[in-house]
A and B are shown apart, each in its own frame.
Chain A
Amino acid sequence: MKRVTTIVVGAGQCGLAMSHALRRRSVDHLVLERGRIANSWRSERWDSLRLLTPNWMNGLAGRPYRGPDPDGFMACGEFADRLARAAALDGAPVLQETRVLALDPLGGGYRVQTDQGAIACDSVVIASGECALPRIPGLAGDLPPGVLQLTPQSYKRPADVPEAGVLVVGAGASGLQIARELALAGRRVTLAVGNHLRLPRRYRGADILWWMDRLGVLDLPPSGEDELDRLRRAPSLPLLGDASHADIDLNSLQDLGIEIVGRLAGLTEGKAWFSGSLANACASADLKLARLLDRIDAHADGAGIDAPPAYRLPATRIPEAPRLMLRLGAGGIGTVVWATGYRPDHRWVTLPVFDGKGRIRHAGGVVGEGIYVLGLRHLRSARSTHIAGAPRDARVLARHLTGRLGGRAAA
């Protein structure tokens, strides 16, 4: 059996950042990738998607962004090319088209079973991505046949969506963007909105993420287990990466003719039923945004930042009586887009490292003896799922990993 010190599973920004960190520490390793480098960025996102973080936030390991457009938003394909180029220049030891099937203890280390054979190793870094599979609610099984079901992975472009009405379920970044794109293409779109966040793209002359970066909110440690759990379940940043710097809050979507309704609560008798809690979901998002803007204003004024004056956004507009029911099928909704989140695909991690909800247990990315995980939400901070967060986390975990190797050598 082939043998290597460390196996990194996944050649996206996290796996490649770990490879970079391991190379700097001269740890002999292999990066296994089920498809091509940056596979999910290439083939599992919709055509128009751009990164939500401006280019200045999208540095790769050892390669901060130095291009001509720091405030621009890179297309996913362009980002994938960038990752692949960096990997090639660095000579990252990536085995493409190699799918990992199982992970078993072997001696003091592990055996990684792949569709290309088994490899023995001392440590494993799980970097197969937080957004590997769409998270679809169980009630999807109650959809009548004949209604097309899409996810942010299978949806590619408006032309593939039939002319009938579209129900987009979920008001995170994916749902908001797909709803907007479909409405702009002339589709009749209803957006089911549960708990969500609201952010303007720009505030007081700068990108909202520039302010959040300045404020340090992306680096704040959680106050305890409860808050950490809440942060790991929090909705994604509701932003659009577009040269227009357009907002995609619910007001701007309603301006495009999108109807907003409450959380999808049930599918029965060929009808979709929505919760009557829309007003509270929107009020909560507005209040949370107001708290962030208060902090930004206090910071801007305290630090003497020369910015345009403070202002507040109008409250989210709620229909007088939000719709509670929609007919599915002929004459009604022809397509449902499940923008209800993603989940990692850790089925190949055949080790007892999961909690009752099937999530990998870890402390800041350390799963257990010689097992590490990267790229999960709030792994170490809010930045853990940002492009430039990958090298930060990878450096820390690589240090832990080599410390362990040193300890073993000494023993």
Chain B
Amino acid sequence: MNIQTEVKTADNGVDVEALYEIKKALTDMPPAAQFTWRASCEWLGGVHSKSTVEGFFGAGAEQSHKTPYSVEADHPGVFAAPDNAATPVEIVLSALASCLTGGVAAVAQHRGIQLHSVKAQVEGDMNLHGILGIDADVRNGFSAIRVTFEVEADASKDEIAAVIAQSQKRSAVFDIVTNPGNVKVALA
């Protein structure tokens, strides 16, 4: 009963009631839960590229963003590149932080916790001996990723920690980063 009243008082801008309705609808209609996300990427010269997202499939039909969005990627000067944009691995770290941050807001809303500010610092360690092919025993990707949250909210430290923990349990990018998955790359 307390939970009900608390849900009404916190407003983090996440419509949990609508999310709950969506969850119910997708529970009753499992095929509608099958989504396919897409991005198209084009080479802009050097190691600079531009990815665009617009359409995706979900809820049983083709969907699209209200407008196309683009993300460019390049590499900084220490890679002998002109540094036109973020590196792809920084985009991955950003995606992880965004996914967890969105999750924090949604979980806090669901638990009736009013947030005032949420900041996440993400660091990923990488040994370039991997991608440069210097040492076959070193992996290309991150050897470790650290996310540190600073959260101001009307809740105890443990309650905030529990929100962050739950956000990880429900995060797509956290899962993508922490678990193996099959990737197939083909030439059209």
Contacts and interface: CB of A to CB of B under 8 A. Distances in A.
Given A223-B3, A275-B178, A321-B144, A280 B158 contact: no
| Listed residue (B169, B177, B178, B180) with the most chain A CB atoms within 10 angstroms of its CB | B178
A283 B144 contact: no
B144 A277 contact: no
A283 B147 CA distance: 14
B131 interface: no
A217 interface: no
B25 interface: no
A88 B155 CA distance: 57
A266 B179 contact: yes
A195 B165 contact: no
Nearest to B139: A324
24 contacts: A195-B169, A223-B3, A262-B178, A265-B179, A266-B179, A266-B180, A268-B180, A275-B178, A276-B145, A276-B177, A277-B168, A277-B174, A277-B175, A280-B165, A280-B169, A283-B161, A284-B162, A284-B165, A284-B166, A287-B158, A287-B161, A290-B158, A291-B158, A321-B143
A280 B179 contact: no
A356 B30 contact: yes
B168 A280 contact: yes
Nearest to A283: B165
Contacts of A223: 3
Interface in B133-172: 143-145, 158, 161-162, 165-166, 168-169
Nearest to B23: A226
Interface string B24-45: 0000001000000000000000
Most buried by B among A223, A262, A268, A275: A275
Contacts of B162: 284, 287-288, 291
Q: Closest 6 CB pairs between A and B?
A: A276-B178, A265-B179, A284-B165, A280-B168, A266-B180, A277-B178
A311 to B, nearest CB: 16
A273 interface: yes
A280 B177 CA distance: 14
| Interface size range on A against B | 10 to 19
Q: Is the interface of A mostly helix, strand, loop or mixed?
A: mixed
Contacts of B169: 195, 280, 284
A287 B179 contact: no
Contacts of B144: 321
A97 to B, nearest CB: 41
A276 B144 CA distance: 9
A283 B178 CA distance: 16
B162 to A, nearest CB: 5
B113 to A, nearest CB: 14
Interface in A272-310: 273, 275-277, 280, 283-284, 287-288, 290-291
B110 to A, nearest CB: 10
A262 B180 CA distance: 12
A45 B90 CA distance: 50
Nearest to A280: B168
B103 to A, nearest CB: 12
A276 B161 contact: no
Contacts of A287: 158, 161-162, 165
B165 A276 contact: no
Contacts of A266: 179-180
B184 to A, nearest CB: 14
A266 B178 CA distance: 12
A273 B179 CA distance: 8
Nearest to B163: A287
A48 B145 CA distance: 41
A291 B157 CA distance: 12
A275 B158 contact: no
A276 B179 contact: yes
A356 B161 CA distance: 34
A124 B107 CA distance: 42
